[in-house]
Amino acid sequence: DTEVTQTPKHLVMGMTNKKSLKCEQHMGHRAMYWYKQKAKKPPELMFVYSYEKLSINESVPSRFSPECPNSSLLNLHLHALQPEDSALYLCASSHAGRNTGELFFGEGSRLTVL
Amino acid sequence: RKEVEQDPGPFNVPEGATVAFNCTYSNSASQSFFWYRQDCRKEPKLLMSVYSSGNEDGRFTAQLNRASQYISLLIRDSKLSDSATYLCVVNSPSGTYKYIFGTGTRLKVLA
């Protein structure tokens, strides 16, 4: 069982819809991540929050908007997506600071954009 | 040159075989190294962290060679359930929150 919980597990949306992906962890980690993974490819980093502040944005299009309301929660707001944005979206967490240790992944949210 | 390189495979091996994967990394300042296992349409799960002294967990052995900048994973007595993609992950450099993933090596263990 994963200690990082993501909802929803599956999401189908049209290009004009607005939806959100949610992620929660209770391991006391102060770094949280969004990754995007296409089939047969490794995860690609999108955003990193450390101590609830955005640390990394890997030049992600503005139709993806991250939010970190508190140290346990991470959201990804989706608006006006394209069919090529269909992918598995993985949330992960780790310790923050110099020794971050391993990444803990949630089960992912599988997104289909019609 | 990619920051982390792996042979994508697939490696098709019979049950009971020993199989080894290698992974090379380009940033000599890298500090933390991991092997993750990913099953089809599932999330990556940590298999092993890799330490300078090498480490073993049952049938799995991981080694780190800093001089040559590669890490390895050895699986002994392969089981059907070992069939998965094995991802080499490097935290490069420490504290930057940048975990670099290799492309993954696909393993299929055959009955």
A54, closest residue in chain B (CA to CA): B97
Inter-chain touch B97–A106, beta carbons under 8 Å: no
- Tallying the residues shown for chain A, one arrives at 114
A43–B101 CB contact, under 8 Å: yes
Return residues 50-79 of B near A (CB < 8 Å). none
Max Cα–Cα distance, chain B, nearest Å: 43
User: What percentage of chain A carries pLDDT values higher than 70?
Assistant: 98
CB pairs below 8 Å between A and B: how many?
54
Task: State the nearest Cα–Cα gap between A30 and chain B, in angstroms.
Answer: 11
| Contact status, residue A33 vs residue A50, Cβ threshold 8 Å | no
Output the pLDDT for position B94: 62
| Structure tokens belonging to residue B106 | 């696909």
User: How much is the pLDDT for B51?
Assistant: 85
Contact A31, A94 (CB under 8 A): yes
Query: Which residues of chain A are modeled with pLDDT < 70?
Result: 1-2
| pLDDT tens, residue order, chain B (111 aa) | 789 999 998 999 999 999 999 999 999 988 899 999 999 999 999 999 998 888 999 999 999 999 999 999 999 999 999 999 999 999 977 668 999 999 999 999 999
| Alpha carbon distance A38, A30 (integer Å) | 27
From residue A26, give the alpha-carbon distance in Å to each of A96, A111, B72.
14, 24, 32
Measured in residues, chain B has a length of 111
